[in-house]
A and B are shown apart, each in its own frame.
Chain A
Amino acid sequence: MSDERKLPYVMAFNEAVSQAMEADPSVFCAGEDIGAFGGVFGTFGGLQAKFGTDRVVDTPISEQAIVGLGVGAAATGLRPIVDLMFMDFICVAMDQIVNQAAKLKYMFGGTATLPLTITTAGGGGLSAAAQHSQSLEAILCHIPGLKVVYPSSPYDMKGLMTACINEDNPTVMVKHKRLLGLTGHVPTERYEIPLGKANIVRAGKDVTIVAYGRMVHESVAAAEKLAAEGIECEIIDPRTLQPFDTETVVASAKRTNRVLVVHEAVRFGGLGAEIAAQIQEQAFDYLDAPVGRIGAPFSPVPFSPALEQHYIPDAKAIEAGIRDALMRVGA
C-alpha cells in the first residue's frame, strides 16, 4: 500500500462518497438530515459544504419518497445515493425497495438500469431498542434484483461503497452502528472491492467461521482465544451478502470440515440458514459436524443494556459454538 493512513469506518464511507461525487457529476445524495447536519451518525459530514445543496439534499422524513426519488432519478440517468437513517426504516420504504427498485429492470424487459445505492445503519448495541437496532439483511437478500453489502472494516467500507456507487443495480449498503468509530488502514486513492467476493480474514485449519458486520470482530476475538489452545479458526467475511460468495465458503468447509455461521440477526430464517443449506448441498460429504448457527434469539431487540448484552451474540457465544462443532468426532 502506498501509505498507512488510518481512517474511522464512518470516514471511509464519507470519503468513498466524496470521491465518487468528484469523479462523476451524476452522483448525488439525498436523505434525512444528511445535508447541513451531516447525517445523524456523521456519515455525510461536510459533503453539502463541499458539493452544494443541489447534490447533497435534505429530504422530508418520507422513506417511501426518498427511495422513490432514488428509483426515478436512477431510471432517468443519475446515480443516486439515498440514505435511510436506520435499517429498521427500510420497512417504511419496502414497496419502493422491493416492488419498484428491485423489479423495474426485469419487469421492463431489461430496458431500465438502476444505479441506485441505498445506505442505512444496522445492528444493535446502542440501547436503541426494537425499532432502531434490527438486522434485517435476510429480508433484502431474499429479493431478486437487489444486492446487499455489509462491510466490517474501514478498508472494506471504502472499497465496497465505491463499488456500490459504480454498480448498475440497486444496492443496499449496511453500515454497522457500532463500527462507525472503528479505525483502520484506508488508502487515500479511490479503489473498489468487487461485490460478491468474500474475504478470508484469518486462515485456519480446524473450523470455518462465516461472519459479517460486527460479528467478524467478535469471531476474531473468539478465534484468538482458541488459538492459545492450538485451535485454528478460519474466518470468512462474505462482505457482500447478495450475491453470496458460496464458492469461497464451500472451499473452506471442505478444508476444515466444520463450519459455524454467525450473525447478529435472529437465527430463525436468518442468512445462516441459507448458508448452512448451501454448505450441506455442496460439501455434505466433507462435514464432520452439522453446520452450526449463532444468532440472536427469536425476540425483538430489547432496550435495557442488561438484556441487550445477553441478546446480541458475542465472542463467548461464538467460542461455545466452535467448541460444540469440534466436540463431534470426525468420520
Chain B
Amino acid sequence: MSITPDKQFDLHRRMVRIRLFEEAAGRLAEANRLPGFLHLYVGEEAVASGVCGALNDDDHITSTHRGHGHLVAKGGDFNRMMAELMGKATGYCKGKGGSMHISDLSLGMLGANGIVGAGSPIAVGAAFANKYRKQGQVAVAFFGDGATNIGAFHEAANMACALHLPIVFACENNEYGEFTPRDKTMAITDIVDRAAGYGMPGVIVDGMDVIAVHEAALEAVERARTGGGPSLIEAKTYRFYNHHGVQNLGLKYRSDDEVARWKERDPIFTLEDRMVENKVATRDRFEEIWTELRNDIDNAIKFAEDSPVPAPDQVMVDVYTQKAGAR
C-alpha cells in the first residue's frame, strides 16, 4: 500500500461518517421522523470517500439522488445535513431541498440531484469554469450505471472530451438502475467500455476497496489537474439497502444471497482488517473512532430535532436573486 497511514485513517473516517449518517437517517425514516424520499449510500462508501479523498476543498463535485455520501465525503456538516433531511430552517438548504438536493457550494458540492444523469453536464460547466480561471481546480461528476444510459451523460462526456476539460467521471456501478438489473438495460458488462467512445481513458476499480478507488482517483485527478483532460472511473459497488428506504433483504429484484455476498466485502470492515493486519491500526483505535462519530450523529439528530421549521413566508424567498448585478 503506497497510501500513507494518515491517509488511510482519513479515508476510513470519511467512510464511517457516511455509514453512521446513513444508518441514522434510515432509522429515522423507519420511525417516520423524516419526510420524503431517502436513497441510502450504505455499501458504496468507498467510492465517494476514495474519490473525494483525492480532491482539494476548492475542487467541485456533482452528485446524484443518492447524494448524502458525496456531501459527507467532501466534508459536509452532520448538523446541517440532518436538519435538511428533516426539513428544518437550519438545514443546508433551509428546508427547501431535502435529501435529493442537499448541497454545500462552499465545499464545492454542487448538489445532489433528483434527475438521473443531470449532474454530469453541470460538472462539465464547473470544469469549464475551472479551466477558464486557470487555478488548477478540477470537477468530478458522480453518477450511477443507470445514468450512462441517458442522453445528458453522453452529451456531457463528449463535450468534456471535445473541450479537453479538467474533469473526472466517477461511475458508481451498483448493478441496478432503481429496481432493474444492469444486464436488462444495457448490452455491455462494463461501463468503462463507453470511455473509449468519447476518447478518454477509463479504468475499472473494485468499488468496495477504498484504497483502490483512491489510487485510481489520484491518477485521474492528477491527469485533469495537469491538463490531461477527462477520465472515467468505473467503481464496481453495491447498495446494501433498497433503491429507496431501508429494506435490504427479501427484495423481489435481487436475491438475499447476492446481498450477503456483497456485504461480506463491506468496504469499511475490509479496510479495518487490512489496516490491523498491516499494523497501521488497532481494533481499539477503530472503536474510539466509531464512538466519537456516533456521538457526532447523536448530536446532529438532537440539533435537527430542536431546530425550528421554516416560517411559511419562506416559500417565496430565494426563487430569484434580488440584488442586481454589481455591474
Contact = CB atoms under 8 A, between A and B. Distances in A.
B15 interface: no
B124 A108 contact: no
Interface residues of B, number: 51
A104 B127 CA distance: 18
5 contacts: A64-B155, A68-B156, A72-B126, A109-B95, A110-B317
Contacts of B128: 30, 69, 72-73, 78
A68 B115 contact: no
A76 B94 contact: no
Interface residues of A, number: 49
Contact of B152 (A68, A107, A111, A144): A68
A169 B163 CA distance: 26
Contacts of B121: 64-65, 67-69, 71-72, 96
Interface stretch (A53-61, A219-227, A256-264): A53-61
Contact of A76 (B93, B114, B125, B156): B125
B103 A108 contact: yes
Contacts of B327: 23-24, 166
Interface string A74-90: 11111010000000000
Name the residue in B103, B121, B126, B163 with the highest tally of chain A Cβ atoms < 10 Å from its Cβ: B121
A109 B321 contact: no
A62 B115 CA distance: 18
B56 to A, nearest CB: 14
A324 interface: no
Nearest to A166: B325
Interface in A169-226: 169
Name the residue in B106, B156, B320 with the highest tally of chain A Cβ atoms < 10 Å from its Cβ: B320
Interface string B159-200: 100110000000000000000000000000000000000000
B91 interface: yes
A76 B129 contact: yes
A169 B321 contact: yes
Contacts of A60: 155, 158-159, 162
B233 interface: no
Interface of B: 60, 62, 91-97, 101, 103-106, 110-111, 113-115, 118, 120-130, 132-133, 139, 151-152, 155-156, 158-159, 162-163, 317-321, 323-325, 327
A105 B122 contact: no
A100 B96 contact: no
Interface string A121-153: 000000000000000000000001101000000
Contact of B139 (A23, A72, A109): A72
Name the residue in A30, A66, A111 with the highest tally of chain B Cβ atoms < 10 Å from its Cβ: A111
Across the A-B interface, the 10 shortest Cβ-Cβ residue pairs? A72-B125, A68-B121, A110-B318, A109-B94, A65-B155, A109-B93, A62-B155, A166-B325, A107-B101, A168-B321
Interface in A25-78: 28, 30, 54, 57, 59-60, 62-78
A144 B315 CA distance: 12
Given A74-B125, A110-B317, A65 B115 contact: no
B111 A76 contact: no
Given A59-B159, A166-B324, A168-B324, A144 B319 contact: yes
A95 B155 CA distance: 13
B321 A73 contact: no
B271 to A, nearest CB: 32
B140 to A, nearest CB: 12
Contacts of A76: 60, 110, 125-126, 129-130
Nearest to A59: B159
Contacts of B325: 115, 166-168
A68 B122 contact: yes
A94 B25 CA distance: 32
A179 B103 CA distance: 42
A134 B151 CA distance: 23
A203 B320 CA distance: 33
Contact of B159 (A65, A78, A168): A65
Contacts of A168: 321, 323-325
Interface in A230-268: none
A65 B121 CA distance: 5
A302 B120 CA distance: 37
Contacts of B60: 72, 76
Contacts of B130: 76
B163 A106 contact: no
A234 B237 CA distance: 66
